[in-house]
Amino acid sequence: MGKDKLRRFAEIATFDNVLQLEEGKKLKGCWSSAQFNNNNPVVLELACGKGEYTVNLAKLFPEKNFIGVDYKGNRIWRGAKTAIEEKIPNVAFLRIQIENILDYFAPGEVSEIWITFPDPQPQVSREKKRLTFPKFLEKYKLIFKPGGMIHLKTDNDGLHAYTVEKIDELGLKLHARTEDLYKSAHVDEVLSIKTYYEKKYLVADKNINYLKFSFE
């Protein structure tokens, strides 16, 4: 690991808005009250990377609490540091493996999930690692409040198609779908937030897929 990554790992350990591994388990069921000192809804960004969506959603919706979830601490560092520098109080980051999410959130604790440009895991052998694989969806359902929404933004046409297929197979409710977000009627202030990777894809003239769905 390079010196810069080591420095970032050391620095996030001092951040009040970052919880890592076992540390985060103590907040299960009480994220809003214990971390944010309020009773506002909790929104997750899974595989948040540098946390662009987490931070920018928090700016747009101060009445909600936003938690970016990722395992790579050197990436989380950027979003967490931005939130501290800009004094954004409704932002936190959780460094865990997403497959263990049930250890960190209680039933009915989460109102919304964003999945923005995750690793599409295109190999058939890695299907179980896709964040919209049915086993992951089952876990999200267990921590959702009634009516909880999932948003998926991806440049990967294969992951988009795969998720549409699973939505249909599992009988989930599809609220919005487009294979070219920025040429659709769906695009708005929220969906116009761009991650580091999305900016690169758009420069390369790549279409951006978007899905919004729920369990009921």
User: CB of 211 within 8 A of CB of 176?
Assistant: yes
User: CB of 191 within 8 A of CB of 202?
Assistant: no
- Catalytic residue numbers, as ranges: 119
Q: How many structural domains compose the chain?
A: 1
Return the structure tokens found at 21.
Answer: 């591994």
pLDDT at residue 83, rounded to an integer: 97
Give pTM, 2 decimals: 0.95
pLDDT, tens digit, 9 for 90 and up, residues 16-74? 999 999 999 999 999 999 999 999 999 999 999 999 999 999 999 999 999 999 998 88
DSSP-derived pairing of the beta strands 110-116 and 91-95 = unpaired
Residue 157, classed as helix, strand or coil, is helix
Q: What does the longest C-alpha to C-alpha distance in the chain come to?
A: 48
For residue 83, the enclosing domain spans 3-214
Which CATH number belongs to the domain containing residue 38 in this structure?
A: 3.40.50.150
User: Which of the two residues, 130 and 73, has the higher pLDDT score?
Assistant: 130
Tell me what the pLDDT averaged over the chain comes to: 95
pLDDT, tens digit, 9 for 90 and up, residues 179-191? 999 999 999 999 9
pLDDT, tens digit, 9 for 90 and up, residues 1-29? 567 788 888 888 899 999 999 999 999 99
- Beta-carbon contacts of residue 54 (< 8 Å; ≥ 6 apart): 45, 48, 66, 67, 68, 79, 91, 93
Q: Which helix (H) or strand (E) holds 211?
A: strand 209-214
